[in-house]
Amino acid sequence: MDIKQFKVKSGNEVNLKNYPTGYDGNELNKERAAVLLEDSRKQLAEVQDKLYAQNQYSVLIILQAMDAAGKDSAVKHIMSGFNPLGVQVHSFKTPTKTELDHNYLWRHNLALPPRGEIAIHNRSHYENVLVTRVHPEYILNENIPGIDSVDKIKKSFWEDRLEQITAFEKGLAENGTVILKFFLHLSKKEQKKRFLERIDDPSKNWKFEMGDIRERGYWDDYQRYYEEAIGATSKKYAPWFIIPADDKWYTRLAIATIIHDYFEDLSIHYPTLTDTEKADLQKARAQLVNEA
């Protein structure tokens, strides 16, 4: 799988209509993808072990999408091969009062991975230039000086936020955090289908909220703001990948392939012992062998 087809180059304007929402090739099918995904899981597990042992890099994986695009299932299927001791998954909801009393990046800072570990953010700091942009009245809850009405939230406000996010991610990358950002590109038609499944299937009723329907009414706004956010913040050190999301089996394989390829580029390896450490190992071995 050529991952270049998904990657948004730095400085490129984004038009989501130019990106497919489903798989239209003939090289893969659901059964073949399942086999490849299982292989990817095993490879990711091996690389994670080296990542933890080397203790040099951390990995931040960001998943953003419209409702019902499959973020939760992507986490479940792709990350199941990881050792849970080295992976943390954070799903960001509406900010609490305590979180609103800090700057909008504060709670995301708290969820960053330490060296040697992986963090998956199911929704992320990008909600602060997406849902808040669709609903600018939410910004008033942040008590930002000089912003006491929606009328004062100009386009420059959002441009500044995107620059702040870019600087935030640049600082992380320069200090050893590998950042991979995925937008699961779902069609409006497929979202409708999945919403109906959630309503008609009693075992999926719990997944549905009336708020999902309300947000669907802002579909075009969300598409436009995703385009702006992705275009402004896809950088070499923190790239965005636009992944077709209408076929979940393809979505999972694409994400797993990208993560593995980036791990391979890091040349992660187990620590190399010094001559003194190697000598100590042999002493310990001899002591164990000679035990009564």
Distance CA 128, CA 62 (A): 14
pLDDT for 118-132, tens place per residue?
A: 999 999 999 999 999
Is the pLDDT reported for residue 241 higher than 80? Answer: yes
Residue pair 191/198 in contact (Cβ under 8 Å)? The answer is no
The answer to whether 21 touches 245, Cβ cutoff 8 Å, is yes
Q: What is the pLDDT of residue 227?
A: 98
In this predicted model, what pLDDT tens digit does every residue of 45-65 receive, in sequence order?
888 889 999 999 999 999 999
The model's pLDDT over 131-145, given as tens digits with 9 standing for 90+, comes to 999 999 999 999 999
Calculate the average pLDDT of the chain.
93
Closest CA to 186 of 72, 20, 37: 20
pLDDT class of 163 with cuts at 50, 70, 90: very high
Q: What pLDDT is stored for residue 224 in this prediction?
A: 98
pLDDT of res. 264: 83
At 271, is the secondary structure helix, strand, or coil?
A: coil
Identify the pLDDT of residue 26: 81
User: Region 186-211: what's the mean pLDDT?
Assistant: 93
Find out whether 260 and 50 touch, Cβ atoms under 8 Å.
no
The per-residue pLDDT for range 272-291, each reduced to its tens digit, is 889 999 999 999 999 999 99
What is the pTM (predicted TM-score) of this model? 0.93
Please state which of the ranges 104-108, 170-174, 223-227, 271-275 shows the lowest mean pLDDT. 271-275
Q: What is the DSSP string of 25-64?
A: -SS--HHHHHHHHHHHHHHHHHHHHHHHHH---EEEEEEE
Q: What angle do CA 134, 110, 238 make, to 5 degrees?
A: 65
- The pLDDT value recorded for residue 25 is 83
Q: What angle do CA 287, 291, 292 make, to 5 degrees?
A: 165
